Amino acid sequence: MKKENIIINIINCYKAMSYFNPNLNRWICLQTFILILSRSTVAFFSLALSYFINKKTSITLLETFTISVISFYIFNRMMEWFISAIHRRLHTQFILPSAFKFVDEIIFMMLRNHSILKIDKNPVELSTLLNKKNEARGFLGFIFHHISTPIFELIICAIMLSQIGFGWMGLFLIPVSLFYLVLTMTLIPKIKNKLMEVLKISARSSSVFSSTLEKSSLAASFGTTESLVDHLKEVTQKETLEFKRSALLSDSMETLLNLPLALFACLFFYFGAIKVEAGLTTYGSFAVLITVIMNSFVQLKNLAFAFEGLSSSLTAIELHMEIFNKCKNIKLENKEKLTIETFKYLKLNNLRVFYDEKLLFDLTLSISKGEKVFVVGSSGAGKTSLVKALIGYKSYSGYITINDAPIDLMTYPFAWMPQEYQAIGGTVRFNLSLGNSSATDEQMLTALEKVNLAKKVANMGGLEASLDYQGNNLSGGENQRLSLARCMLSDNPIMLLDEPSSALDMNLEKEIFNYLVNMDKSALIIVHRLNAIPAKSKVLFMKNNQEYKVDSLENLISNDDDFKSLYFAHDDV
């Protein structure tokens, strides 16, 4: 990630946060005022300290150093307890919640515009976005706290130096700061990597110990526990050497990181002492110089670490900003409402889908109102890719039309059941309502009855029974049936079912398929077992060589040897 992109991202993020929270400017101004007040108070104290020391003409250099450092430290701690505490509370109560809202609202915007956006619709991309959520929040926290505080500190330090006769040092502080920032941002990633190596070595050693000790009874049963001890000694010695090497490198780089601070501090002290000896400044001003320089370098180090953390989060925030910009510019169009009654037919004309530049199929197919098409074929033929192309998860070329109009002009027409069936955390009612938010209790219970799940739900407590977020309340087959019931409840006219009965027994599978065939909805159903397909059904048979056939079940058995062999072999397809 280029460092020059940081400022641009900060500005863009601030604008985006203001979009969701119009009062953000007020809180930022108040936070800035409190920050300036707290730092200026410390600066005023340092100047007052200078005035006090100047009045004490008999004070020695050692006494000057001791008084200035101790007094500055104590007063600075007091400021942290009082004024800075207010600053931090304002940050956590108002600024950070705005950052949280910013990240959450972007995800909400994306979900609301899910059927319009042509990016970030892949489940893997959605998962990545959610995993980056905390990183994006951290980015915004760095902007308004970890970066703003050191920058204000350095500005005030430069102003104070000019007030006590060391203005040239204030100017010199700028190139020193830039040099140290570059050096720190170069070394910090290496230090972090070495620390991670140390942690991994420690974790690996613990894992070896625990796994070996768990199996110690095996060695005892052979009377070879001494060999086990020797093995553990060998492993731990090797791990200890690696640990020492990595820890030494990490400590060395951290020492190298602090070395410029010590050199610059000595340089400033040297020139300050020369001015004192020459009578060009006072002990009091020199005391302020000491405290200011010490504080400046602490803030430089904080700023460098903050920028390093900022850089590592830029990828996360850029992903959110991309979605924000796309969603903000979306203009909702009036689309034709598609219902079971208004739907007439779905047509695929030369629909071409690729996988790693390899053409999977070039398909032309028509599905009429109420028609069910069972999709079969060997692994890799493109069955799931066909479904994902229809719902927009996979790019394609060709044409998809509904009632002779492009699919983009219609409201979302599908009820999709993926292979990765699983309940969503919440109640049974909530899970079913995702298919149809206006469904009545009677309709929900009927759908559960059709998939042979009503008794199970009743035993769990009815429609208000809670399901955990991993779907552990239900078995694999029960999760699958709940997902199927949700599709049956949907008002959308076309069901896309990807192996909806793979976890069911043969009898229940045939029973459910017979019910689906008699529904008013159209359906494209990828089947797991061919002999569960109802008689006289329309079948799309996809082959690995891009060939396909569309015919009735009986005709394919009679006229296609490949299909016939698959059908009578009773193999899973």
What is the residue range of 73's domain? 1-166+281-329
Amino acid at 478: E
The answer as to whether 37 is a domain residue is yes
Residue that is last in its domain, among 223, 257, 280 = 280
Count of CA atoms in the C-beta half-sphere (13 A) of 380: 4
Give the Cα separation of 499 and 421 in Å (integer). Answer: 10
Same domain? 38 vs 146 = yes
Q: What is the pLDDT of residue 379?
A: 83
Residue 22 CB: number of other CB atoms within 10 A?
A: 8
Q: What is the pLDDT of residue 474?
A: 83
Whether residue 469 lies inside any domain: the answer is yes
Q: Has residue 275 been placed in a domain? A: yes
Count of domains forming the chain: 3
At 294 the pLDDT is 67
Q: What is the mean pLDDT of residues 129-142?
A: 55
Least confident of 268-282, 453-467, 489-503: 268-282
What is the DSSP pairing of strand 522-526 with strand 372-377? parallel
**Are residues 144 and 67 part of one domain?**
yes
Tell me the pLDDT tens digit for each residue of 387-427.
Answer: 988 988 788 899 999 999 888 878 778 988 888 766 777 78
Same domain, 368 and 511: yes
Domain contains 174: no
The pLDDT of residue 3 is 46
Same domain, 79 and 208: no
pTM above 0.85, yes or no: no
* Judgement on whether residues 100 and 57 belong to the same structural domain of the protein: yes
Average pLDDT over residues 555-560: 92
Mean residue pLDDT of the chain comes to 73
According to the model, what pLDDT value does residue 61 have?
56
Q: What is the mean pLDDT of residues 228-246?
A: 68
pLDDT of residue 11: 62
The predicted structure's pLDDT at residue 121:
44
Give the distance from CA 153 to its chain's centroid. Answer: 33
At residue 278 the predicted structure's pLDDT band, cuts being 50, 70 and 90, is: confident
- Strands 426-427 vs 466-467: parallel, antiparallel or unpaired: antiparallel
Residues 210, 147 share a domain: no
Read off the pLDDT of residues 188-218 as tens digits, 9 standing for 90 and up: 666 556 655 655 666 666 666 666 665 565 5
pLDDT surpasses 80 at 97: no
How many Cβ atoms are within 10 Å of 11's Cβ, its own excluded? 11
Half-sphere exposure (CA, 13 Å, Cβ side) for 184?
24
Same domain, 86 and 130: yes
Is residue 394 a part of any domain in this protein? Answer: yes
Q: How far is it, in rounded angstroms, from Cα 178 to Cα 437?
A: 58
Q: 405 and 529 in one domain?
A: yes
Q: pLDDT tier at 141 (50, 70, 90 boundaries)?
A: low
Flag whether pLDDT at 564 surpasses 80.
yes
CATH code for the domain in which residue 387 is found: 3.40.50.300
**Considering the domain boundaries, does residue 139 fall inside one?**
yes
Number of H helices, E strands in the chain: 20, 12
Please tell me whether residues 195 and 156 are part of one structural domain.
Answer: no
**Res. 357 pLDDT band, cuts 50 70 90:** confident
Query: Residue range 329-338: average pLDDT?
Result: 65
Instruction: Looking at the structure, tell me whether residues 557 and 430 fall in a common domain.
Output: yes
Q: Are residues 534 and 385 in the same domain?
A: yes
